[in-house]
Amino acid sequence: MVGIIMGSQSDLRVMEAAAEFLDQVQVPYEINIVSAHRTPHRMIDYAEGARKRGIRVIIAGAGGAAHLPGMVASLTTLPVIGVPVKSSNSIDGWDSVLSILQMPGGIPVATVALDGALNAGILAAQILGTTDPVVADRLEKYKSTLKDRVMRSAEELRRGDRDVD
């Protein structure tokens, strides 16, 4: 259902968070390396064939110039979520953020925070949850655990336990 792609193996340390969340809510995904610059024909094949493979949302992570999310979005009508990755060749991550965020009109890419693959996984599941009640229910349970964690921490703080998360 979800395609997770990244520009290079080094991006996997960030992109694994999306895969782990999708595992948690039991949403199937594929994960692959597809470089916009080093393998442009592979990128085109991936983007143009994604729908036929059953992909409904694409999460694309990239560092540096970060062209992968936008180029994939230009080749498909599927929603694309861009994850800017702070890489060894980036300018503190800002080049990646701005490259993904500043897409021209007509080619939208939903963009999450720098190294924000977890939120990309959550957003992909939320998109799928608009038409899949099972996924929506799993997301409700996940959000409930977030609320419970905050309420527990607030109660611990109220009791004077300053070592809360």
**pTM, full prediction:** 0.92
CATH 2.30.30.830 fits 2-158, yes or no: no
Q: Does the annotation flag 38 for ligand binding?
A: yes
Q: Does the annotation flag 11 for ligand binding?
A: yes
Q: Write out residues in the chain with pLDDT < 70, as ranges.
A: 161-165
Helix pair 40-49, 68-75: axis angle to 10 deg: 50
Q: Does the annotation flag 92 for ligand binding?
A: no
Q: What are the domain boundaries of the chain?
A: 2-158
Say what the pLDDT of residue 109 is: 98
Say what the pLDDT of residue 160 is: 83
For residue 120, count other CB atoms closer than 10 A to its CB.
29
Say what the pLDDT of residue 163 is: 65
